[in-house]
């Protein structure tokens, strides 16, 4: 994706681009307008210690409360209204998984992006996050100290996967497919092409998808295409013709037909409906 594409999609980069991991207070001074819809090009874990508010993640509204954790993936549309909520943010690039083993980025496709933990578990993860924050604030941080921070993050991430009852080695094929799909949704639409990337048969991929999500691989691809169309409609910086071209439809008619068959709406009607959610 070019820099121009990222600008069009409101992909917000990490405030410190040379760092793989950043810990901030929930009320830190954002370098971008966090009160407007935006999307990151990095992962963000939000740990709310106490307070309330609400946040919108990909067209769904979630109430914010104490001892709550939210996972925002790269590319998701996000808007947070903190109200009285306070806590910590963990921000990291996908590159960090080169230094973290046992977990990979595709292990974090949770069914719900926001969830609460019991007090003991939340306190443990919150304390680990504070340790990371204190460590990363040190000047002239040594390579060993950076790896110590990455190890703290590893414990946090593994704990989150376990809390969602997703053993690391379970459903590997499905989660890797979902990850590849979100990264390539502009260009790859065929199940056979994903199977080639995954080195598996279509039968095996469809079985993994149906067993967990009740849908075959093509249905999931179409859902991801529609979700990305909605994101682009919401950002409202491209014309419908430009969105159709960006999403690799060979004609405006096929673009409109795709939306109509899945929503019963025209592209302009869908955009009106999407924008209404975020008023």
Task: Give DSSP secondary structure letters for 188-230.
Answer: ---HHHHHHHHT--HHHHHHHHHHHHSS-HHHHHHHHHHHHHH
Q: Is the dihedral of CA 155, 156, 159, 164 positive or negative?
A: negative
| Whether residue 169 has pLDDT greater than 60 | no
Number of separate domains in the chain: 2
H or E segment to which residue 64 belongs: strand 60-64
Both 189 and 109 in a single domain?
A: no
User: Do 43 and 105 meet the contact criterion of CB atoms below 8 Å apart?
Assistant: yes
User: Do 175 and 109 meet the contact criterion of CB atoms below 8 Å apart?
Assistant: yes
Question: What pLDDT is recorded for position 3?
Answer: 38
| Whether residue 34 has pLDDT greater than 90 | no
Both 153 and 179 in a single domain?
A: no
Question: What pLDDT is recorded for position 157?
Answer: 93
Question: What pLDDT is recorded for position 33?
Answer: 57
Question: What pLDDT is recorded for position 8?
Answer: 42
Both 12 and 144 in a single domain?
A: yes
pLDDT tens per residue, range 129-151: 999 999 999 988 888 888 899 99
Both 36 and 155 in a single domain?
A: yes
Mean pLDDT value across the chain: 85
Phi, psi for 267 (deg, rounded to 5): -55, -40
Q: Which two tokens stand for residue 44?
A: 């963000």
| Whether residue 166 has pLDDT greater than 70 | no
| Whether residue 69 has pLDDT greater than 90 | yes
Both 102 and 188 in a single domain?
A: no
Choose between 148 and 12: higher pLDDT: 148
Q: Which of 109, 128, 163 is the last residue of a domain?
A: 163
Both 79 and 153 in a single domain?
A: yes
14: which DSSP letter?
P
Q: What CATH number is associated with residue 38?
A: 2.60.120.280
Distance, in Å, from the CA atom of 151 to the CA atom of 99, rounded to the nearest integer, reads 9
| Least reliable range by pLDDT among 112-121, 230-239, 241-250, 264-273 | 230-239
Q: Which of 130, 163, 196 is the last residue of a domain?
A: 163
Band the pLDDT of 2: cuts 50, 70, 90: very low
Q: Which two tokens stand for residue 23?
A: 């810990």
Distance, in Å, from the CA atom of 238 to the CA atom of 220, rounded to the nearest integer, reads 25
Q: What CATH number is associated with residue 207?
A: 1.10.10.60
Is 134 exposed, middle or buried, given 0-12, 13-18 or 19+ CB atoms closer than 10 A?
exposed
Question: What pLDDT is recorded for position 13?
Answer: 56
The half-sphere exposure of 135 on its side-chain side, counting CA atoms within 13 A, is 20
Both 196 and 69 in a single domain?
A: no
What pTM does this model have? 0.72
Both 182 and 109 in a single domain?
A: no
Band the pLDDT of 206: cuts 50, 70, 90: very high
Closest CA relative to residue 4, chosen from 237, 160, 165: 237
Band the pLDDT of 237: cuts 50, 70, 90: confident
Is 51 exposed, middle or buried, given 0-12, 13-18 or 19+ CB atoms closer than 10 A?
middle
Residue 180's Cα: distance from chain center in Å?
13
Both 82 and 214 in a single domain?
A: no
pLDDT tens per residue, range 71-90: 998 888 888 888 899 999 99
Average pLDDT over residues 24-42: 76
Question: What pLDDT is recorded for position 279?
Answer: 62
Average pLDDT over residues 196-216: 89
Distance, in Å, from the CA atom of 10 to the CA atom of 40, rounded to the nearest integer, reads 8
Both 117 and 18 in a single domain?
A: yes
Both 159 and 197 in a single domain?
A: no
Q: Containing domain of residue 248, as a range? A: 172-277
Question: What pLDDT is recorded for position 153?
Answer: 94
Q: Which of 119, 137, 163 is the last residue of a domain?
A: 163
Both 158 and 208 in a single domain?
A: no
Average pLDDT over residues 34-38: 71
Name the maximum alpha-carbon separation found in the chain: 58
Choose between 165 and 75: higher pLDDT: 75
CA triple 222-224-229, angle to 5 deg: 95
């Amino acid at each position: 994706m070019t820099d121009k594409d990222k600008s069009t999609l409101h992909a917000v980069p990490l405030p410190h681009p040379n760092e793989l991991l950043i810990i901030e207070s929930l009320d830190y001074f954002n370098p971008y307008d966090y009160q407007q819809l935006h999307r990151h090009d990095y992962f963000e874990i939000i740990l709310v210690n106490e307070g309330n508010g609400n946040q919108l993640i990909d067209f769904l509204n979630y109430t914010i409360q104490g001892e709550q954790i939210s996972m925002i993936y790269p590319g998701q549309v996000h808007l947070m209204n903190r109200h009285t909520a306070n806590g910590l943010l963990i921000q990291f690039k996908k590159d960090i998984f080169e230094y973290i083993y046992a977990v990979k980025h595709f292990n974090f496709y949770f069914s719900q992006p926001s969830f609460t933990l019991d007090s003991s578990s939340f306190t443990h993860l919150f304390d680990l996050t504070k340790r990371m924050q204190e460590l990363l604030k040190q000047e002239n941080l040594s390579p060993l100290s950076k790896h110590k921070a990455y190890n703290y993050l590893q414990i946090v991430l593994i704990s989150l996967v376990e809390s969602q009852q997703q053993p690391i080695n379970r459903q590997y094929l499905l989660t890797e497919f979902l990850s590849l799909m979100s990264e390539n949704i502009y260009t790859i639409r065929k199940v056979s092409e994903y199977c080639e990337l995954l080195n598996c048969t279509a039968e095996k991929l469809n079985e993994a998808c149906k067993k967990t999500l009740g849908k075959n691989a093509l249905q999931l691809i179409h859902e991801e295409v529609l979700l990305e169309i909605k994101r682009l409609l919401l950002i409202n910086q491209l014309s419908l013709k430009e969105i159709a071209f960006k999403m690799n439809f060979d004609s405006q008619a096929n673009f409109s037909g795709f939306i109509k068959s899945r929503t019963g709406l025209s592209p302009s009607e869908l955009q009106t409906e999407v924008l209404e959610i975020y008023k």
